Amino acid sequence: MADILFEPQLWAAILAGLLVTVTLTIASMIIGLALGTGVAVARVHGNRAVSVLAGAYVFVLRGIPLLMLLFLFYYGLPRIAWLRGTWFWNFVLISPFRTAIFVMSLNNSAYLAEIVRGGMLSVRRGLIEAGRAVGMSGWQCFRRIEGPIALRAILGNLGNETVAVMKASAIASVITVHDLMGGPAVVGNLYLDPFTPLLVVGAFYLLLVAGIDWTVARMQLRLRVSGRQETPR
């Protein structure tokens, strides 16, 4: 069973898959956070119609399983003839990796929208009104008051969501993305030993989670220090 541990093919698959998993996670978090922040702002500060549309966006994407979305976009949409040749086809659907990033970002944005909205609602209205009173625009209030305070409140939840996205990225293997889960599994099947590669992959997932936890803890510490320094004495 342990013979496969000395096969270069296994370690090449693990390292390549590790890069894919990290890239999927980072890209999905960045794009998802950008989309989610926009949706959260629309729900908190938009008019009734905009708020309802943003709420519907969150409801639909949170309600549809990620696996179903992957199948829909990778196997379903390519059957629509008029999509072929469009920028969406050439830039997203033509590549399983890009499709995975797009779908995971879309799915992730709904959860991040609720996290960001919770952080925004935790900011005292008096602080925002004080910013408006001294002549700040809505964007300036968000950038200098609401955003930083909300970030401190939600950073722990962002870390948890990053871990969830990293683990969910393993589902991308169903559309032929050779991530940390998919690549080594193929090698294990070739050597008739699927168990050992899974143990090694599990150890790498634990290392990734530890890295995310450490990074979030350092960011929380820095934000607490900067917050104390900015507090008037």
Instruction: Please answer whether residues 140 and 131 qualify as being in contact, where contact means their C-beta atoms are separated by less than 8 angstroms.
Output: yes
pLDDT for the residue numbered 225: 60
Q: What is the pLDDT of residues 131-156, one digit of tens each?
A: 878 878 777 787 777 778 888 888 89
Q: What is the pLDDT of residue 226?
A: 60
Q: What is the largest CA-CA distance in the chain?
A: 70
2-230, what's its fold? MetI-like fold (1.10.3720)
pLDDT at res. 228 = 54
Q: What's the pLDDT score for residue 232? A: 43
Mean pLDDT value of segment 11-19? 88
The pLDDT of residue 189 is above 70: no
pLDDT digits 0-9 by tens, 54-77: 999 999 999 999 999 999 999 999
Q: How far apart are CA 177 and CA 67, in angstroms?
A: 13
- How many beta carbons lie within 10 A of that of residue 116, not counting itself? 27
Determine phi and psi for 112, rounding to 5 degrees.
-65, -30
Q: What is the DSSP string of 192-205?
A: T--HHHHHHHHHHH
Least confident of 19-28, 40-49, 142-151: 142-151
Q: What is the pLDDT of residue 222?
A: 82
Phi-psi group of 89: left, alpha or beta (phi > 0 → left; psi -120 to 50 → alpha; rest → beta): alpha
Judged against a pLDDT cut of 60, whether residue 102 lies above it is answered with yes
Domain residue spans of the chain = 2-230
Q: Using CA atoms, how far apart are residues 53 and 59, in angstroms rounded to an integer?
A: 10
